[in-house]
Structure 1
Amino acid sequence: MSSANQVLVLNCGSSSFKFALLNSETGTETLSGLAERLGSDDASITFKRNGNKNSLSLNDKNRHLDAIKTLVSYLETEGLSNDIAAVGHRVVHGGEKFTESVVIDSSTIKSIEDVSSLAPLHNPANLIGIEAAMVAFPGIPQVAVFDTAFHQSMPAKAYLYAIDKQLYKEKGIRRYGFHGTSHFYVSRQAAESLAKQISETSVITVHLGNGCSVCAIENGQSVDTSMGLTPMEGLVMGTRSGDLDPGITIYLMRKYGYDADKLDQLLNKQSGLLGLSGLSNDCRTLEQALESEDEQTQQSAQLALEVFSYRVAKYIASYTCALTHLDAVVFTGGIGENSDYLRSRIIAHLGVLGLSVDEARNTAARFGHSGPIHGNDSRAAIWVIPTNEELVIAQDAARLTFNHSQDNQQQGA
């Protein structure tokens, strides 16, 4: 393993991938960037290093592979390639097979393929990234870190749907949960902030971004979370509907001829804040629209944000049922970290739990600043903690690479 403990983290989507090169011990980021619009004529890759940005056009004949080759070339030119100890991959769905991160081999790839039907928009793209990286970085260990793994500690009463049990036994239909690396990271940071052992800490973590989820964490373990079989269940999100009467889909199919593709487009791409407001899926745009001189625009934005905050508050309140006590509510993610307006609105619904916000603290805790935002009379702490999923992936990759290397040395001895 490289003495520099540098891990390249890849997060591949169907038409883009994010990357970061960071030190797994210190969290120091040497390089980050984004390859986007893969599959189109204007595909590009952007590198961020030392405060500077550099964008290059991509040939894109081989989509992800071409982009990763460009990344490799950049790393070599900048003298960074020799320091890479491992490549860590975010994989969205691990099903019940993966309860923790693993070193990737042929059996791992086969298992990820086997559960790809549970995440058809995500896992195939993750696999493309893995296979491209294995070609581009021969000899460097590759590690898969699963969004679902942290939630495998949920009890059956939390993960089972009340449908024919054979659908779970034979087809794996159950609640899996997502954003696991984020909930894992901020819960550990919260325990440190509370000066408690994670094994004695009970928190509710609230990851709010374009995708949103809430997680109840008892003694460091996930005991319930709002996303389900797919990332669509639970909270109102940027373009996803969240919880929905399943009878609506049946009605749309029978009455208006909706098929699976049209329903998928509606519920994943045209719902949530975008669907409610008719304006945008971006909370910043909607908060700005609250000040619009156009009354209809203002009302549309207000309604969308009210539904959003009310739904989050309902989940927080309901998840106290899963805990023995409540030490803290923790906000994270792009919205959770930056929107003091929505944090205030969410906590305002939770007065019955004795939670309150100090508005001065709340306003100060934005744009990368962490800290407590609860009032002096609040019965539980309320914190804003920026997430760092890349660091979790890097740390798991470094740990497993070190253990894997030791195992190989022992076997060869």
Structure 2
Amino acid sequence: MIKNLIEKEGSPPKLCEEKVLGGIDQNGNYTTTIVQKVKNGVIPANIVVQKEYTEDKTSPDYIPKSYRSQSFLSRFLTKCLELCGITFLQPIKWKNVTSIMLLHIVALYVILAFPVFEVKLLTVFWGFVVGIVGGFGVTGGAHRLWSHKAYKAKLPLRILLMLAYTVAGQNSLYDWIRDHRIHHKFSETDADPHNSNRGFFFSHVGWLMLYKHPEVIKKGNSIDLSDILADPVIQFHEKYFIPLKMFLCFYLPCAIPVYCWNETWFWAFVATGIVRYVFGLNFTWSVNSVAHLWGFRPFDKRINPVENITVAICALGEGWHNYHHVFPWDYKAAELGDYKVNLTTMFIDFFAAIGWAYDLKQPTKDMVRRTVEKYGDGSHDVYGHFHPEEMPDPYETDNNNETKKD
């Protein structure tokens, strides 16, 4: 069976119909990652293969035995919580809990004590610029290009987006795209990696602190990732993910202030390494949490995702989430054509103008109108939804008015 998962040596691995069901590693990743990790037909020692799932194993209360192969410290901390009456459906990823907590504690301290610091304002501005670059990598690259194939990009733009995404310092592109496609296909179910029905904290960051729900692992096998596995840019990113992340997310953003305007390494790291990184993470997470809980549903009132202008501004245009879940293949991820609340669309339009982005997909006006009338909650006019390019020409409007008068 394993041989069927391996292509000829030197060629990129591809998904096959025959899979090892239930194969998961210590991070909770499922079989499609095994395709990436298997070498010469040998499964690494840290991969646990379960040949099949039974009905009882996929129940909400089932926890795969492989999830219990944690360190002594992890088991000890989990036991302490259990003694306090605190239990979780899935085991806790204590490494993630620790790192996320430390990052936020440091960032919060720096923000609250900022006036007394000697960090240069240029360094703060540089951190903002780096955050924008990383944001475009997430929204324009991982999300709209690779997860939804909402447009096509030539090789130079794909490389640029891959590098920009790495600046953001999130999971590998492969993992991000896989989780996002699962999220859309099984939204607000146990198979959704960040199911908002489990509360704000879980959908915002808690899902990263726990091992995946068995349903995420099981249903994840139905997600087609062959296009991702065949993309040499993503394969390069996957192969060199750790060194790329260390260099582009942390070292380079810190080194430029140090060598260009004599910032100290400490403040360069704190401002452009930690604070910028934490803000970027939370802006992305807010799409999974805030944009699924608080806002309007002008396009489909039956689903959780909402339109939230605050998230749209912070996440470079990703807050128009009710629309996005109805039309996930629209490259704008919104009906709004206003660049002020959708900077990612401006980014894509710019590269479309120079020929690097093409085949930009979007629904017709009539398709959107019929959807609003049939499923919307009546709030369609709250944000003044319109496309500037679809507004009538003033000359045509004048002629129409004259015709009516006659």
TM-score (norm 1): 0.26
Give the number of the structure whose alpha-carbon radius of gyration is greater: 2
